[in-house]
Amino acid sequence: MPIPFPFSAVVAQEEMKRSLLIAAIDPSIGGVLVFGDRGTGKSTAIRGLAALLPKMQAVDCTYNCDPAASDEALCADCRDKRANGMTLKGRKVPVPVVDLPLGATEDRVIGALDLERALTKGEKAFEPGLLARAHRGFLYIDEVNLLEDHLVDSLLDVAASGENLVEREGLSVRHPARFVLVGSGNPEEGELRPQLQDRFGLSVEVKTPTDLPTRMKVVRLRDAFERDRTAFVQKWKGKDGKVRRLIEKGRALLPEVSVPDATLEAAGKLCIKLGTDGLRGELTLIRAARALAALQGDTEVTVDHLKEIATSALRHRLRRDPLDESGSTSRVERAVQELFGE
C-alpha cells in the first residue's frame, strides 16, 4: 500500500483541513465535499487524514461492527450471536477508508447476491461491496461530480437510512452502512446533483495559492516526499501524532459540549437571513460548531464558533439568486458580517 503524504505537512488549505478534522470528530455531520482546482492537495489531505485516525474497536465480522452497539446497529450475524448469549469481542482495527472509483459497477459498490447458489443450493450467498467495507469509516469519491446517476441514487438511499438493502429476484440482504462521505472534484468538469450535494455536511472550496512563498513551500515539501517517502513521513510523525491526539481529545470532549439558547438563536437567524431550505443547514451548522468547539478544547459553543464554520456549513445550501452576482461564499460571509460583525 502506498505511503500517504502526512496530513500535517499539507500547506495552507486551512478550511479543508479543519473541515476534515471536524468530520473525524463527529461523523454525524454528514461528510465533506471538497471542490476546487486540480493539484491543490484535495485527495492528498483526505488520504493523509485517514492514515492518522485513531484505531477503533470492532468485532471480527464482515462489517466491523461495534461490540458496544445496540442490536439495531449490528449486522445479522452479530445480532444472532448476541441473541444466543455470546459476547461480542472487539479488537483494535484501523478506521476503514474506502475509495469508490468512477468506473465501479453497481454490484461492486452495493454488493452482489449469488442467485445461482440460492436457486441450486437454497443458500443466501452475499458478496459484500464497497459500502460494506466503508461501514464505520470513510467512503472517498474522487471526481464525485462525474459519478454515474445510478450510483448516486444508491448512495442517497444509504446516506439517508444508514443501511444498505440489496434486492435481486425476490431475495434481499440488509446490512449496516454508516460512513463519512468525502467527495472531491473540479467544478469545471460538471456540477454535482443537488440531492447528493445536500447530503454533504460541509462544503469546502480550495484554490491554487497565488503567493510565491506558499507555492515554493508546497513544491519543496512535495519534492522531498517523492525523493524519500519513508524519511519524510518519519520527520512529520511527531506533528501527525499531535493531530491524532487532537482528534482523540475532541471525540472524548464532544458529549460534554453544550449549545446555549443564544447560540442556537444566532444560528437560526443566520439561516433565515440566507433563506436556506429546510432545517438541515441549521442542524449541520450547530453540529459542526459543536465539533469545532471540541476540537479547540471548549465546552460551550459560542457565536465565534458559528462564525468560523458558517461558510463551510452553508455555502452549498443557498438558492441561486439571479439578482445577486456574488458567489455563495460571499453571500454567507456578508450575512455573518451583517448579523454578528467582526
Tell me the pLDDT tens digit for each residue of 95-148.
888 888 888 888 889 888 766 665 566 566 788 889 999 999 889 998 888 888
**Distances, alpha carbon 186 to alpha carbons 11, 20, 33, in Å:** 19, 18, 11
CB 23 within 8 A of CB 216: no
Catalytic residue among 18, 280, 317, 319: 280
Q: Please count the residues of the chain.
A: 342
User: What pLDDT shows up at residue 159?
Assistant: 81
Alpha-carbon gap, residue 223 to 55, rounded angstroms: 30
Reported for 87-91, long-range contacts at CB under 8 A and 24+ positions apart, including other chains, are 88/59, 89/59, 89/60, 90/57, 90/58, 90/59, 90/66, 91/57, 91/58, 91/59, 91/60
Alpha-carbon gap, residue 132 to 177, rounded angstroms: 6
Q: Looking at this protein, which amino acid is placed at residue 36?
A: G
Ranges of residues in the chain with a pLDDT under 70 are 1, 114-124, 169-170, 321-326, 342
User: What pLDDT shows up at residue 115?
Assistant: 63
Q: Which helix (H) or strand (E) holds 134?
A: none
CB 207 within 8 A of CB 38: no
> Under 8 Å CB-to-CB from 163, ≥6 apart: which residues?
174, 175, 176, 177, 178
Alpha-carbon gap, residue 136 to 20, rounded angstroms: 16
Residue carrying the nine cell digits 448476541? 82
Question: Which of 259, 244, 246 shows the shortest CA–CA distance to 299?
Answer: 259
Report the predicted TM-score, pTM, of the whole model to 2 decimal places. Answer: 0.88
At how many degrees (to 10) do helices 237-253 and 42-52 cross? 70
User: What pLDDT shows up at residue 10?
Assistant: 92
| CA angle, 134 then 13 then 99, to 5° | 20
**Domains identified in the chain and CATH numbers:** 7-54+95-206 (3.40.50.300), 261-337 (1.10.8.80)
Q: Looking at this protein, which amino acid is placed at residue 263?
A: T
Q: Is 229 a catalytic residue?
A: no
Residue 178 CB-half CA count within 13 A: 17
Residue carrying the nine cell digits 425476490? 170
Q: Which three cell numbers stand for residue 236?
A: 512529520
Q: Which three cell numbers stand for residue 280?
A: 438541515
For the chain, the first-to-last Cα distance in angstroms comes to 46
Alpha-carbon gap, residue 265 to 111, rounded angstroms: 44
Question: Which of 247, 293, 234 shows the shortest CA–CA distance to 9?
Answer: 234
